[in-house]
Structure 1
Amino acid sequence: MPLIEMLQVMDSLVLLCLLLIGTTGAISVEEIFEKWQSGIGREYSNHYEKMFRFGIFKKNMAMIDGLNEIYQERGMVFKENSFADMTEKEFAATHLFPRRSPATFESASSHQTSQKLRYLPTSFDWKGKGVVTAVKDQGSAGTCWAFSAVQNIEGQWAKLGKPLTELSVEQVVDCDGNKDAEKEKADCGVFGGWPYLAYQYVQKAGGIQTETDYPYCCGLGGGEGTCFVCPAPGYNKTLCGPPSEYCKTSDSCSAKIDPSKFVAGLKVSGWQWFGQNETDIAINLLNIGPLSVAMNAGMLQFYHSGIYDPLFCDPKSLDHAVLITGYGEEKTILGETKKYWTVKNSWGKKWGEDGYFRIARDKNKCGIATQVTTVELEII
């Protein structure tokens, strides 16, 4: 066979192989999608919606592959999860709050670093020590700020020697319309808020109910038990934007709150901010308990494991609030030592590292050190 014909045959074989590989890859993504849909119990209303979601899923899988290629040497792993059929905008609209600049406080208002510790242990975590409740799932609502604040209160209550008690996030979401006009910050229910304002709400209200007495319902996505809450008293349209178009007064604060069921003896006396020195934050974490923080969570949608350390992450544009429970360090595959925070999220236990993630420490990564706060409870 002449050389030119051999080359033509080889070109044809290569093209055929590429076509087969592309076909196999497409089938593979379809199979992954079917297994994913079955595994999480996702249902679609019709074939067209399913195909639309499959298109988003396919794009997300390609993005996940790209992220893993970029960050594998940095020890970060990304993987499809329950958010895999959502666009970035859909995810942000349902699980984050609109990005806002950090609140700033006078240095005099920051908590002085405790002097109880003469050295900082290499690692520490409050998980398993009776002051951290189970991982929750905020669902399709921007209520992370309330979860972060309430979980901080839970930890401080347990640190006083009280039984570890799950407190009502829904009460804070429904009833807290607090605002800080000077700093142009407000608590906006399902549209976001600030833990420091949530502490102030609980202080003004005189207490908080348990999760059992006032259960979470606003983020259930329209499923059974979903509530459609009207804006909290004092809701600020200027700072929060227009409220939900549809609500039910029977689902709202005035219809459900019952001060007679506030946890006996749990009284908020104030709150503290801790500045941005991450060594001081670690010391205070050790001495005081889990701390509320806010951050930029733009790339967390498909986080699966490892120390979260994205190359680009604006620390002055915050859209999520979480709870730091511990810290530590580990060796990377490149042999460097990386320090990290251990953080409790509110996206369910199947997300990330059993509902937690680790994020680089001593870098103010994604603004993790800008809004570190804790509630102060009356000691009785």
Structure 2
Amino acid sequence: MYGAKELCAVLLLTTILSFESGDSINVPTTHSNDWLSYISTFPGKKDAPYPKYYYNYNTKLINSHNSKANRDPQRFTYTLGENQFTDMRLIHFSALFPKTTPPPTTTTATDPPAVQTASPTFDFITDLQLDIQVEDQGTVCNSGWAYATAKAVEVYAASETMSTARLSAQNLIDCAGAGIGCTRQVAQTAFEYLVKYQQPLYTETDYENKNWLTTQEMCIPPTNPASTPVTVASYSQINNPDDDTIMQYVSAQFPVVIEYDPTSFDFMHYKSGIFQQPHTKGGSHYMTVMGYGADAKTGLNYWLVLNSFGTTWGEDGYIRILRDSSKPLTRVALFPTGFAP
């Protein structure tokens, strides 16, 4: 049983959560099988009071949304689900992704190459039969900028050479992070590091990803790498791109890194379907566009985007975002365009 102090904490937390959402919620005071299953599913989770309260609160909102989606799938076009963030408050999740400011100039970026009109649909995975692994950036470091850049280079290399090497985001966090590798860094800096200074990008085998670290480490490239690193010769940046432009470059087999605002409860818990961004708090996260198409069930056009939240988030690590010309996908698009010999 809870003592007086613990009971007061429960009541206070319940009041705070109710105020945040505008809905009342009853927070259970005993362990549930769902909670015990949750903490056993995700490594590092602890059976502590506050995470449990947030979990119970969040799962109620998840279930409420999914009930609406079941009743009206034309209006609620995506579902939500539990993942590694479900024992966190939205305010804590959003704090991981502050709004970033791109550098005023990108001295190395070149004009994008000329490409043909986009095909009606395209998907790197199915069309090119690529074996691309979903990465997990963890819950303590804002490193999507590095994971998205490393994955874009990896996908581009695979489409050119059919290479299956997984490239290291940690390499970029440590070496291009400039002291803010886990806070406010941007993908432009990663591309500048690779291209302007012709720095190699090592494989994950040679430069291990460490998603449990809250800050970047020293930049220590391997002295005798087991695999050949990749050196990017050029990249392009498009500011405020429209749908047609992004489609053209993705269709031409350029994996495009985008900036996206992740600070909504629905993005935090996205599970499946065509995502339509609700109200956000304003933040920045970087992901990689892997294709586009049309959903057979709803008829909605979508972007196929690879995230770095692991396979327990979204559709095995991917999200399908509504493709609508009146709702721009991103304010900036970046992609590698060539490799050094």
- Report TM bin, short chain: 0.7 to 0.9
Residue equivalent to 1:223: none
Between 321-330 and 123-132, report the one with greater CA deviation. 123-132
Partner residue of 2:20?
Answer: none
Superposition map of 1:274-285 within 5 A: 274-275=238-239, 276-285=241-250
The answer to whether 1:307 aligns with 2:274 is: yes
Cα deviation 1:251-295 (Å, max 9, x = unaligned): x11xx2236649647332221123412112112101133211110
Q: Which moved more, 1:321-330 or 1:156-165?
A: 156-165
- SS in structure 1 of the partner of residue 291 of structure 2: strand
Higher Cα Rg: structure 1 or 2? 1
| Equivalent position SS for 2:61 | helix
Q: Name structure 2 gaps, 5 residues minimum.
A: 1-25
Pick one of 322, 325, 334 that aligns with 2:290. Answer: 325
Give the deviation of 1:55 after TM superposition.
1.2
Give SS of 2:295's match: strand
**Contact (CA 8 Å) 1:267, 1:378: kept in 2 or not?**
yes
Secondary structure at the aligned position of 2:204 is classed as coil
Which residue in 2 is equivalent to 1:189?
A: 181
**Superposed CA RMSD:** 3.3
> Does structure 2 retain, via aligned residues, the 8 Å contact 1:113–1:284?
no
In the alignment, which of 89, 92, 96 is matched to residue 90 of structure 1? 92
Match of 2:78 in 1: 76
CA distance in 2, matches of 1:313, 1:130: 35
For 2:115, the equivalent position in structure 1 comes to: 114
Question: Corresponding residue for 2:39?
Answer: 37
Deviates further, 76-85 or 202-211 = 202-211
Change (3 A) 1:70 1:160: same
Alpha carbons of structure 1 residues 69 and 113: separation in structure 2 relative to 1, 3 Å: farther
User: Quick one: distance in 2 between partners of 1:52 and 1:311?
Assistant: 26
CA distance in 2, matches of 1:91, 1:227: 14
Amino acid at match of 2:236: Q
Aligned residue number for residue 143 of structure 1 = 143
Counterpart amino acid of 1:74? F
The size of the alignment, in residue pairs, is: 306
1:62 aligned residue: 60
The answer to whether the 8 Å contact 1:133/1:165 transfers is no
Pairing 1:1-380 to 2, within 5 Å after superposition = 30-40=32-42, 43-44=45-46, 50-69=48-67, 72=73, 73-93=75-95, 96-100=96-100, 110-111=111-112, 113-115=114-116, 117=117, 120-121=119-120, 123-128=121-126, 129=128, 131=130, 133-139=132-138, 140-161=140-161, 163-177=163-177, 188-203=180-195, 204-217=197-210, 219-220=211-212, 229-230=216-217, 252-253=218-219, 256-258=220-222, 261=225, 264=228, 266-275=230-239, 276-299=241-264, 300-313=267-280, 317-332=282-297, 337-363=299-325, 365=327, 368-378=329-339, 380=341
**2:16 maps to what in 1?**
none
User: C-alpha separation between the residues in 2 aligned to 1:200 and 1:104?
Assistant: 13
CA 1:205–1:311: 2 relative to 1, 3 Å: same
Residues 22-75 of structure 1: per-residue CA shift (max 9 Å, x gap): xx995999332233233335552xxxx622222111211222234335555332
TM-score (norm 1): 0.70
Q: TM-score, normalised by structure 2?
A: 0.78
SS in 1 for 2:252: helix
CA distance in 1, matches of 2:40, 2:177: 40
% same residue: 23
Is the alpha carbon distance of 1:113 and 1:298 closer, same or farther for their aligned partners in structure 2, counting shifts above 3 Å? farther
Q: Give a deviation string over 1:169-228, Cα, whole Å, max 9, x none.
A: 1111011146xxxxxxxx8211132222201112215312211111011x22xxxxx586
Can you list the C-alpha shifts for 1:65-123, whole angstroms capped at 9, x where unaligned? Answer: 34335555332101222211111122234xx43123566779x96525512x4x622x2
Contact 2:206–2:226 (8 Å) recurs in 1: no
| Whole-Å separation in 2 of the counterparts to 1:361 and 1:29 | 42
Q: Which has the higher helix share?
A: 1
